[in-house]
Every structure is written in C-alpha cells, then in structure tokens.
Amino acid sequence: MIRRASILCVVLALAGFCLAAAAASFTALSLEAAGPQVQKNPIPTSPDSIKAGRAIYAKNCAGCHGLQGKGDGASAPKGSTPANLAAGKWKHGGTDAEIFKSIEEGIGPKPMIMKPWGEKLSDEDIWNTVNFLRDLAKHAK
Ligand code: HEC
C-alpha cells in the first residue's frame, strides 16, 4: 500500500513538472508570436545624416513628393496622390521604424501605391532619409 502511494506521488510530481514546463514553453511561444522587437533607428540624427538623406530624397522622391515634401511633385503619375511628408501626420505610421517600413517595402495593396525602395536603397540610405524627413517636418510651415 505504501509503495503504491509513493508511485502515485512520483506520477503526480511528474505531471506537475510537465504542466509547469508546458506553461513555460507556452509563454515563450506567445512572446515569440508577438514578433521581433520593434526596430530602432540605428543612425542618430545629425547634420551629416540629414544631408545624406536630402540627396537621396532629391534624387528619388522629390519627383512625386515635392522638394519640400508637400506631396506636390511635378512628375507624380496622373491620378496619384503622393503623401505630404512634411505635415507630421502619417497615414502608415509615424515612428521611425514605420516610416522606414513604408519606404523599404513600399505601400500596397497591389498594385502598389508606392513601389518598394528596399532593393535600390541600402538600410543606411533609408534611415538617413527618415532623419531628413523628420527634419523637413520640423521646419515645415
Ligand atoms: C512615383 C511616385 C512616388 C515616388 C517616386 C515616391 N513616393 Fe512615397 N508615396 C507615393 C504615394 C502615392 C504615397 C501615398 C500612399 C497613400 O496615400 O497611402 C506615398 C507614400 C509615402 C510614405 C508614407 C506616408 C504616410 O503618410 O505614412 C512615405 C514615408 C514615403 N512615401 C516616402 C517616400 C520616399 C522616402 C521616397 C523616395 C525614396 C518616395 N516616397 C518616393 C508616391 C511616391
């Protein structure tokens, strides 16, 4: 009888351990499901970064978004409405990471409203452009 009780004890202890382990791995799974950590802008803003961003912007973006970022570029495709990037209001998210994503992945759904720039521009180019856009919005009237 005593022996039975101790076997039962071991079984119960094991079950308890399993439950705890399952709970722990469930927590780990749900943390993982929350996605990778939000990206931080690795390039602190500086006159050099803003200058680099300005050059990239003038070359690739101003045609649609306008030199001042007001969405009034002369070569925007007919019927398109490029976003005003100087207003400090962001339709697709206004954190540095979200602006980065809008530029890198473009804006959908298909057909893309704005094509992705990730293949043409390096991550560093895009972060510099984000810093430039922040500066643009700061000085816009
Ligand atoms: C062919 C025209 C065109 C070019 C070139 C272009 N864009 Fe866009 N962009 C658009 C349009 C149109 C939208 C508006 C999408 C919408 O309204 O949802 C947009 C939206 C955006 C947004 C999102 C704004 C928001 O409110 O969230 C960002 C950021 C942006 N563009 C940055 C850039 C940058 C940086 C470049 C250059 C590397 C660039 N764009 C080049 C057409 C263009």
pLDDT digits (tens, 9 = 90+) for 31-78: 444 445 567 999 999 999 999 999 999 999 999 999 999 999 999 999
Do 53 and 28 lie in one domain? The reply is no
Cα of 82 from ligand 1 centre, angstroms? 6
Residue 40 forms part of a structural domain: no
Beta bridge mates, 44 = none
Mean pLDDT to the nearest integer, 112-123: 96
Whether the pLDDT of residue 97 is over 90: the answer is yes
Do 109 and 75 lie in one domain? The reply is yes
C-alpha 127/C-alpha 129 separation (Å) is 5
**Residue 110 beta carbon below 6 angstroms from any ligand 1 atom:** no
Residue 97: CATH number of its domain:
1.10.760.10
Phi, psi of 115 (to 5 degrees): -70, 155
Do 23 and 51 lie in one domain? The reply is no
Least confident range from 49-53, 88-92, 137-141: namely: 137-141
**Pick from 35, 43, 39: which is nearest to 97 by CA?**
39
pLDDT recorded at residue 71: 96
Question: Whose Cα sits closest to atom 20 in ligand 1?
Answer: 83
Confidence of residue 30 (pLDDT cuts 50, 70, 90): very low
Structure tokens at 95: 């954190």
- Residue 65's Cβ-side half-sphere holds a number of Cα atoms within 13 Å equal to 21
Do 56 and 30 lie in one domain? The reply is no
Q: In terms of residue numbers, what domain contains 111?
A: 47-139
Least confident range from 26-30, 53-57, 78-82: namely: 26-30
Do 65 and 18 lie in one domain? The reply is no
**Residue 95 beta carbon below 6 angstroms from any ligand 1 atom:** no
Residue 80 forms part of a structural domain: yes
pLDDT recorded at residue 103: 98
